[in-house]
Chain A
Amino acid sequence: MTELPLIGGAPVAVEPHLVGAKIGVVTFPGTLDDRDAARAVRLAGGTAVALWHADTELADVDAVVIPGGFSYGDYLRAGAISRFAPLMSKIIDAANSDAKLPVLGICNGFQILTESHLLPGSMIKNDHLKFLCRDQVLRVENNTTSWTSDYEADQEITVPLKNQDGQYIADDKTLDALEAEGRVVFRYVGWNPNGSRRDIAGISNAAGNVVGLMPHPEHAVEPGFGPESNDGTDGLGFFTSVLNKIVGGAQ
């Protein structure tokens, strides 16, 4: 991935032991937030690797971020066509393998993960029918996943939310199972911005290596460029969490 100059000053001390950890960032036709996601990886200290949806190999990455945007223009259903990209079958296999590749789906990436059946449920249009963009408070309800271990249990974080098809739905049996197994990873705090069942903002698979959420942690990684609370860097923990897990696992 092309090096971008860091604007706003690098907020974190780059830790040399993390640089060897490679996180792939997938670009589909219509993806918007791949550059921000790659930047977040680098600000957290890791190495971002650009992956193209038509690739047939995962390039030996240690984890994958499926970023937000409007892949294939949200045609058919958000994420529905991307789910069948050649690279997605590699990602699905790797996520389900014994190696349990960490995968994070953000916004449209979350929609792609539900369409892929890596995560249960689905997203439909916001209950108020409008596109919504705001800073959103979330509660981290599970800090044992690959992507949330650097947060405190029940820590409240603020990251941007921006979507039109953000209403998370699943049948009651699925929702009960998610709750019972601690797989509701993030819940909206203060208000429910889209009608999501049980205020769910993000979930994980049973193993905790696959996490999806609608809000955008990659837009809250740099002081002065994210939400106003906590320097606007509440999203950085996603990326440091997975990097520390990768490096910890390699030691």
Chain B
Amino acid sequence: MPRIVVDVMPKPEILDPQGKAIVGALPRLGFTSFSAVRQGKRFELTVDGEVTDAILAQAREAAETLLSNPVIEDVVNVEVVEA
């Protein structure tokens, strides 16, 4: 079954409080090479059958209207992954 993967990230200018907490925890585990972390979201939309252009367009629209909030987030990637 093919899937459409949608990646959403907080906008660069918005401080990501969760990423900030994670970057604070990393050195406590000995991971000292990372100066910043930003946490986003990955959605996997399963399609029964072939991914047509129309279905991909629907996925892009869903990504902009429901899966992300354009005030605080950017849709950074929409791609088809074959199973």
User: Chain A: residues with CB nearer than 8 A to chain B?
Assistant: 76-77, 80-81, 84, 114-115, 120-122, 124-127, 129, 167, 169-171
Please give, as numbers and ranges, the residues of chain B lying within 8 Å of A121 by CB-CB distance: 71
Asked if B17 contacts A125 (CB within 8 A), the reply is: yes
B76 at interface, CB cutoff 8 A: no
Asked if A124 contacts B17 (CB within 8 A), the reply is: yes
CA distance A84 to B67 in the complex (A): 12
Instruction: Say whether chain A's binding surface is mostly helix, strand, loop, or mixed.
Output: loop
Please give, as numbers and ranges, the residues of chain A lying within 8 Å of B47 by CB-CB distance: none
CA distance A6 to B66 in the complex (A): 41
B21 at interface, CB cutoff 8 A: yes
Please give, as numbers and ranges, the residues of chain B lying within 8 Å of A171 by CB-CB distance: 13
Asked if B69 contacts A77 (CB within 8 A), the reply is: yes
**Closest B-chain residue to A115, C-beta based?**
B69
Q: Which one of A77, A120, A124, A129 contacts B14 once the chains associate, using CB atoms below 8 Å?
A: A124
Knowing that A81-B66, A124-B14, A170-B71 touch, tell me 18 more A-B residue pairs with CB under 8 angstroms.
Answer: A80-B66, A80-B69, A114-B71, A120-B71, A121-B71, A122-B71, A122-B72, A124-B10, A124-B72, A125-B17, A125-B18, A126-B17, A129-B20, A167-B17, A169-B14, A169-B71, A169-B72, A171-B13
CA distance A124 to B20 in the complex (A): 13
Please give, as numbers and ranges, the residues of chain A lying within 8 Å of B69 by CB-CB distance: 77, 80, 115, 122
Q: Which one of A77, A84, A129, A170 contacts B17 once the chains associate, using CB atoms below 8 Å?
A: A129
B68 CB, nearest partner CB in chain A, Å: 8
A42 CB, nearest partner CB in chain B, Å: 35
User: Chain B: residues with CB nearer than 8 A to chain A?
Assistant: 10, 13-15, 17-18, 20-21, 66-67, 69, 71-72
A78 CB, nearest partner CB in chain B, Å: 10
Please give, as numbers and ranges, the residues of chain A lying within 8 Å of B17 by CB-CB distance: 124-127, 129, 167
A122 CB, nearest partner CB in chain B, Å: 4
CA distance A169 to B11 in the complex (A): 12
CA distance A114 to B69 in the complex (A): 10
Nearest first, the 4 A-B pairs at minimum CB distance are A122-B71, A125-B17, A122-B72, A129-B17
CA distance A241 to B13 in the complex (A): 38
Output the residue of A81, A114, A125 with the most chain B CB within 10 A: A125
CA distance A171 to B12 in the complex (A): 12
B10 CB, nearest partner CB in chain A, Å: 8
Please give, as numbers and ranges, the residues of chain B lying within 8 Å of A115 by CB-CB distance: 69
CA distance A129 to B39 in the complex (A): 14
CA distance A77 to B20 in the complex (A): 18
B63 CB, nearest partner CB in chain A, Å: 12
CA distance A43 to B75 in the complex (A): 46
